[in-house]
Structure 1
């Protein structure tokens, strides 16, 4: 009996063992019409083997029964199926329908990409997010043929985008930006993470509806909307550092003293200098930046919603040069009825910056290394040489270059701007193929700035051997300081109403007709600048309507 059981188990073991071994799996790959797909790639990741389908779509691959096979072919959607012992039949679905239905935004509507005959470059969200960018304009760089993007490392600066050459002397070269239907001057206020697509219109036929405003090209930007049937939360955070790629190698203080003495044919400077200042290092730091984004989106049968919040902070390489930007966006789509749809967009952007004079770099390379940043008594170093051949608070001046560190420390300016953009779009299907659209968009921008020029202390820093009374004697009628405050704001809006008729005849003739009117108003740009002299040095008491009558207004300018 034991021998019988052993023999029975021995008969069962070989099939079980064989199921775990690779064997020849045969099959055929066909399309949705049952035709063989030659060249289809069949891969078995677990067995690390692959095979190609022959001219009729037939294939043979060494794989395990039950192992997942992956079948792919250009122009078809890839599929994954389990391997079976018998002859397999695998059907691939053509992916061409999706490509043919892809659309691009053109002016007042969209057009199938396959039907488009004008010069339009389209950049989708997948391409935008491949590389992390600080400004929305930088997302175009290197991704659209014939479009040049020239970026600056200055925080908060607007990259230069050139589409149709350098433009004209009066018309400039900046393109026209259309953001969700709103015409705007730049897109610094947009978080690149909120963008779905860029459509770059280049030739005359594509630009015709915008007239002369589009002489330098048009960039149409569409921002994100809610998708899916569940609430989706996305969080993104990244950061980085900045350092100069290459620095100019400067001479040390002893070499400077030697060559200066040779040039002057004297022994003015000592050959054993106690100070060796690297002015470039004194005015720079390792720059850093961080970007944090969070978005919430979703949709239901009657509403699609998208909320996003982003914050960007940057400390530039130049000491004290900082920039920050906070963005908020809300896009909603309401399906009011079967024929009526309402779209609403709103964005808020607040930006803060503390500019610094870039001429400090020039002064850093010009200033002598024998000059200290500070003298032992705490006063700023100046380019004067004493009898001992060292830099001194007194003595003869040997150049007209100021202290770059003092230049940055005394430069006190702050800027703040707020940009509001929003709009409503109503779509109503009058008849099948005939749609009426009414869209209103508005933009409001406000900017504030102050600059405090500490005139007296700047003079004393450049003349450490002087005191307050010396300034009063030398400049009896001069300002002690000067506070400049400025503000600027403007409001733009546009309203468009149009009808769109679209019909496909005989499955080959796709006709689309658009007719409508548009009103666009670019409001006056109001600028006010007021300078007040001799204000309280404490910034908590700064005000243009200073109650102290002795503090006169130096000048006031108003532009409309």
Structure 2
């Protein structure tokens, strides 16, 4: 038993220690309360760098809600504890933190922020302050869109920059169509050039994780795109990924979101049983109704007596089913996304590491997209003047599974079912050659694409010569794809399976030498570039048909009766040199001169190389003495540039090509000999297509706090030596030859306006407007004057018209539908569209009765974004629009019904306003005569729309988690494609799909269209 007496000193000592600690704690608490209670009033003034007062600047005690705003003289007063820090900020300026000292009167000068003309933008092979840029360069505001459900980088860009035209994708993970400033070519390359971290990116935009992107800059004119030469005639997207930065501790960022998707189709669904029966009854109106006007129901009419026997017979009646094929093939879509990144570094080493997962399920079953991405961006400085780094990423895309035929789904009648009584799929439910739409769904399908990107670089700032820098980029793109497939329904129900492997690799090797220095009032930056690109593609396909059974799927092709192998490979190479000089005098007079020489293996031996020069000038007017003291104009710059870019031809178009075909059969039932023949003519004089462009721009910032700022652009492009395939006499043995002809003009105007509408203590409202107009015109094509009247002939068969837009519509003019009692032109039954007889000869002919109706191109585009901030709450509302104006942005939308053997069994879409005797005001033709109309014309309609595209509501909870190791915590709710105002009928007016000839056409009230999805997202962002 322990001795209590002996233990007493220990116990007393412990009590004394506890008491001492408690007393010290209480004294510290009392002192701290006393300190907190000692406040002082701080007075000061907020000024610009030039000494002008800033009205409405926010002054807040750091870590609290205690704050005030400056008056019209920039003066403020705030009470804070001794030793506190205040945070001073204003729209358009960089935020500053200032420590408060006793009795101090502060003068806080704010510098222009990233949103102003001092912003540093990527310009290609370097960066530059925006105020020094002479070309048309625009930056995408990513911050307002990071909380939107984006599985593809392209979806981030809709409506963000005037002149950057981004459409919609209707498939999971799909890349929307992207163009910059409209078309400048007929059949040359029309793709926008993508530059990822300084390297041409040839992978799919679907492989890039949007959360990894730091900035996106758009180069639109010849002055800005000249450094990329022949591949930049259609504009450039510069994508820069996030990188590490020096920090006291690592920065851990986590985000996750869940999205639900619903179609925006409204009632655009196939008929159910009752609707289908009524629809078919109207298709037999001359039997279902009596009287002179076919308006009285015929009591003896039975649909089963006239409809296809597969749907019902006179003896058995109609099939009893009411099957919803559309519902079977669709489900609510969803997107699950999560991102995790860690970044940090020191003076010598920085890092950014990230990983992400996206799992999207589309509206149509098996429209799936899964992506896993990993990124490693590292940079180290072995010496103070030497940097070495790697920018690398891997993206692994899984699109396994095949959709049912969505067009066939919409055609299938509800009176039929896809499965028999045993649950087995019926291959041909209509007993015709059209298979069940689910024969493309019940298959084994593997589709995987792995993308690897790496740019290894070294950057040396030579210590022995100030301003001299050398950078070497070695960029690599590698893609491996595999597609495995097996279907017992393919190859005429005999079964088919295949394995296809593809790989693509390219490298870019750039050597960039830059010298930059200031001599008094002279700033000079000179850049020299020598680079090369090589691309290689290989594919191998093994295929077999005629399987007794496909139990082993695609894993044993030798079981097929007929086996085939195919392979393909190609390669191309480019090299280039570029020189650029940026000169600035006295901070107000700017000059940019660029010349680039490109070589491409795809051109003829006589024109492998092309040289493309550009010059641009700028004048910072606000630096002149007569504007320096202006209280209205903060910055004003005028710039103009003129230059020439090239455009490349496709592979092998300059050389004669050879094909292998069946040449001779040795006797009846003998062996077949194969021979080679020239399939296309070469052209040793095929040269670069050239686009000469003039751009005039104005950048401005007005009023206090830069409340109004933006840019205006006017441009005019002229493309000559168009790459085009001209028809030649068939006596040559060939139909056409690739050559250089003609000229296209492309003109436009763009405006980007930002306005700070409200600046209050707790509430701000910012708005931005983007507006663009683009008009193209064919000036000449072949220069042929067959009529001798001095006017070049149009290429009507190709849809090309001199003096008009590339998308000119030359077609029949319509004037309603022929009614029962109308006098009709020969060859036009009742219920068909009435075509205007232009020459009044009582006949309709292609040569004499077609006229120019309008054009496919829109008249103008605009978007309006509004951002509202109230304390921690933020609301972003974005409206996007495309307008056709007078006879512009037209699309073919002509659902029509002609009763024949096929149409008496297939379904149709609800809501189509077909003509009938009981519906004489119907808009679309219904012909039940058994004889087709002489012409079945297109029905061109206006696609103009205004779309409530994005709405995001977010809240920052950071002030509630200060005691936790969390820097930022926010949650958001966002919606996309919420509502569209349009007169267009059918699928979404903005979406397009390829027709039978491969031409992109608008999706109207047509079978086979795909819906745009309305999305709702909830997400959380956390930064530790």
Residue of structure 2 equivalent to 1:253: 273
Shift of 1:91: 2.2
Deviations 1:237-296 (A, max 9, x none): 112111112232544424534554672654525788642222211111111111111112
- Whether 1:181 and 2:198 are equivalent positions in the alignment is yes
CA distance in 2: counterparts of 1:156 and 1:33, whole angstroms: 46
Residue of structure 1 equivalent to 2:914: none
1:387-398 equivalent positions in 2, closer than 5 A: none
- Whether 1:416 and 2:448 are equivalent positions in the alignment is yes
Residue of structure 2 equivalent to 1:349: 395
Kindly indicate which of the two structures has a greater share of residues assigned to helix. Answer: 1
Deviations 1:10-49 (A, max 9, x none): xxxxxxxxx99x99x7944254899683635577999999
Name which of 470, 477, 480 aligns with 1:443: 477
- Whether 1:105 and 2:122 are equivalent positions in the alignment is yes
Shift of 1:326: 1.0
Contact 1:173–1:216 at 8 Å: present in 2 too?
Answer: yes
Seen in structure 2, the aligned counterparts of structure 1 residues 43 and 538 have a Cα distance that, compared at 3 Å, is same
- Whether 1:453 and 2:487 are equivalent positions in the alignment is yes
Shift of 1:346: 1.6
Contact 1:371–1:381 at 8 Å: present in 2 too?
Answer: no
CA distance in 2: counterparts of 1:304 and 1:196, whole angstroms: 16
Residue of structure 1 equivalent to 2:693: none
- Whether 1:531 and 2:543 are equivalent positions in the alignment is yes
Equivalenced residue count is: 498
CA distance in 1: counterparts of 2:505 and 2:397, whole angstroms: 18
Q: In structure 2, the residue corresponding to 1:410 is in which secondary structure?
A: coil
CA distance in 1: counterparts of 2:457 and 2:87, whole angstroms: 45
1:274-293 equivalent positions in 2, closer than 5 A: 274-293=320-339
* 271-280 vs 154-163, greater mean Cα deviation: 271-280
Shift of 1:103: 1.6
- Whether 1:92 and 2:112 are equivalent positions in the alignment is no
Residue of structure 2 equivalent to 1:7: none
Residue of structure 1 equivalent to 2:657: none
CA distance in 1: counterparts of 2:423 and 2:160, whole angstroms: 53
1:196-345 equivalent positions in 2, closer than 5 A: 196-229=214-247, 230-245=249-264, 246-257=266-277, 260=280, 263=284, 265-268=301-304, 269=312, 274-345=320-391
Shift of 1:365: 2.5
Contact 2:196–2:238 at 8 Å: present in 1 too?
Answer: yes
- Whether 1:369 and 2:414 are equivalent positions in the alignment is yes
Contact 1:133–1:192 at 8 Å: present in 2 too?
Answer: yes
Shift of 1:53: 2.8
* 41-50 vs 271-280, greater mean Cα deviation: 41-50
* TM-score (normalised: structure 1): 0.78
Deviations 1:133-173 (A, max 9, x none): 11112222222121011121201322211013134343232
CA distance in 2: counterparts of 1:504 and 1:442, whole angstroms: 36
Q: In structure 1, the residue corresponding to 2:175 is in which secondary structure?
A: coil
Residue of structure 2 equivalent to 1:387: none
CA distance in 2: counterparts of 1:448 and 1:49, whole angstroms: 60
Shift of 1:311: 1.2
Shift of 1:414: 2.1
Name which of 499, 522, 528 aligns with 2:535: 522
Name which of 558, 562, 577 aligns with 1:552: 562
Residue of structure 2 equivalent to 1:16: none
Seen in structure 2, the aligned counterparts of structure 1 residues 124 and 340 have a Cα distance that, compared at 3 Å, is farther
Seen in structure 2, the aligned counterparts of structure 1 residues 354 and 37 have a Cα distance that, compared at 3 Å, is same
* TM-score (normalised: structure 2): 0.44
Name which of 440, 444, 457 aligns with 1:425: 457
Q: In structure 2, the residue corresponding to 1:153 is in which secondary structure?
A: coil
- Whether 1:490 and 2:490 are equivalent positions in the alignment is no
Contact 1:28–1:53 at 8 Å: present in 2 too?
Answer: no
Seen in structure 2, the aligned counterparts of structure 1 residues 370 and 517 have a Cα distance that, compared at 3 Å, is same
Contiguous gaps of at least 5 residues in structure 1: 1-18, 385-396, 460-477
Contact 1:68–1:83 at 8 Å: present in 2 too?
Answer: no
Shift of 1:339: 1.4
CA distance in 1: counterparts of 2:85 and 2:469, whole angstroms: 48
Seen in structure 2, the aligned counterparts of structure 1 residues 344 and 39 have a Cα distance that, compared at 3 Å, is closer
Deviations 1:360-379 (A, max 9, x none): 33223222122134333324
Kindly indicate which of the two structures has a greater share of residues assigned to strand. Answer: 2
Contact 1:147–1:162 at 8 Å: present in 2 too?
Answer: yes
Seen in structure 2, the aligned counterparts of structure 1 residues 41 and 106 have a Cα distance that, compared at 3 Å, is closer
Identify the structure with bigger relative contact order (alpha carbons < 8 Å, sequence gap 6+): 2
* 99-108 vs 112-121, greater mean Cα deviation: 99-108
Residue of structure 2 equivalent to 1:474: none
Shift of 1:96: 2.4
Q: In structure 2, the residue corresponding to 1:225 is in which secondary structure?
A: coil
Contact 1:76–1:92 at 8 Å: present in 2 too?
Answer: no
CA distance in 1: counterparts of 2:147 and 2:278, whole angstroms: 54
Q: In structure 1, the residue corresponding to 2:110 is in which secondary structure?
A: coil
Contact 2:319–2:416 at 8 Å: present in 1 too?
Answer: no
Deviations 1:420-475 (A, max 9, x none): 111211111222111111111111111111222313xx79xxxxxxxxxxxxxxxx
Shift of 1:513: 0.5
Name which of 555, 558, 570 aligns with 1:542: 555
Q: In structure 2, the residue corresponding to 1:108 is in which secondary structure?
A: coil
* 526-535 vs 341-350, greater mean Cα deviation: 526-535
Contact 2:48–2:111 at 8 Å: present in 1 too?
Answer: no
CA distance in 2: counterparts of 1:527 and 1:213, whole angstroms: 25
Seen in structure 2, the aligned counterparts of structure 1 residues 258 and 136 have a Cα distance that, compared at 3 Å, is closer
* 328-337 vs 317-326, greater mean Cα deviation: 317-326
